[in-house]
Amino acid sequence: MQLTIDLMYEAAVNKDSSFEGIFFTAVKTTGIFCRPTCTARKPKKENVEFFKTAKEAIMKGYRPCKVCHPLEKYNMTPDGIRNILNQLAENPTKKFRDSDLLQMGIEPSTMRRWFLKNHGMTFQAYQRMFRINHAFKRIQRGESITATAFDVGYESLSGFGDSFKSIFGVSPKQSKEQRVIDLKRLETPLGTMVACAVTEGICLLEFTDRKMLETEFKALSKRLNATIMQGDNLHIRQLEIELAEYFAGQRKQFTVPLFTPGTNFQNLVWNTLQRIPYGQTISYKEQAQMMEKEASIRAVANANGMNRVSILIPCHRVIGSDGQLTGYGGGIWRKRALLELENELAAS
């Protein structure tokens, strides 16, 4: 794809997140440079110029936009909010009130907007969800419903039962056959990701701006007959450590367990992806040949696109037969960054 001025301007006007990390838009009349996804009013085409890096824009005298913060990592969770999320992970029964947020230097309205944008719920609803998830796991382990209800902060059994049933569709007593998929946001150098896990292993790892993410959530929930909830999980904890090591160039293979519900053909495709050596790429045709399915190149490509576990199942290592980088759910710029990381370390 030729990165022309017309294409970049159109991407900026449409706030196309797939161009994040590929270019920055600088406005001559204001002296400000922005991300492609900036929500500020768009200037006329003749008043903009484009740069590949923020450094280039700064060297030309432009200053970073205060709306989209182009110097920050894309879609990164603010430090103050990340601190609170870590505290909740350590103690799901902890309650943060507006007064607590103010003492920590966080405006409650800011907190509310951030959670609505990134989690589709208010911060108070998020905390309730986290407590209910914790309570669910305690009841699954055979602990007393009454003790659990009061331990997680409910003042009455009826209130606890109503909240529990509104989420799971059954009462706490009837929940033994229910299943939960734990969900957690993870920070990486390429932006925020969301991980999902069940007792068997990691079942989803995607960048939060992936357009198909909501569809993947619904499909996963339906296939596993489970409720997706904010929560922690031993597999997610292991994943956080291994991802950090991967991006630091200290890990080439992942050992965290995976759980990939899908058809036999899809799992054959995903298993083949995991056989592509670190630092190497293959074409879709070569992938089909590895599977002895040369007549099914299109089906192989479609199954690659259905992969829910990015990076660990490395569909980013599959490129076009002409050597060009082709579609990637996290954006072509991330695919390029992952391959550059792996190629550099493999060479060294």
Q: Hey, which residues are catalytic here?
A: 315
Q: Which helix (H) or strand (E) holds 185?
A: strand 180-188
Distance CA 306, CA 97 (A): 40
Q: What is the torsional sign of CA 36, 316, 256, 268?
A: positive
**DSSP helix/strand/coil, 155:** coil
Number of helices (H), then strands (E), in the chain: 14, 10
Instruction: Supply 302's token pair.
Output: 């479609």
Distance CA 122, CA 109 (A): 10
Distance CA 111, CA 90 (A): 20
**Cα→Cα distances 286→4, 198, 228, 281, 298, Å:** 31, 33, 36, 10, 12
Contact of 303 with 265, CB cutoff 8 Å:
yes
Contact of 224 with 261, CB cutoff 8 Å:
yes
**DSSP helix/strand/coil, 95:** coil
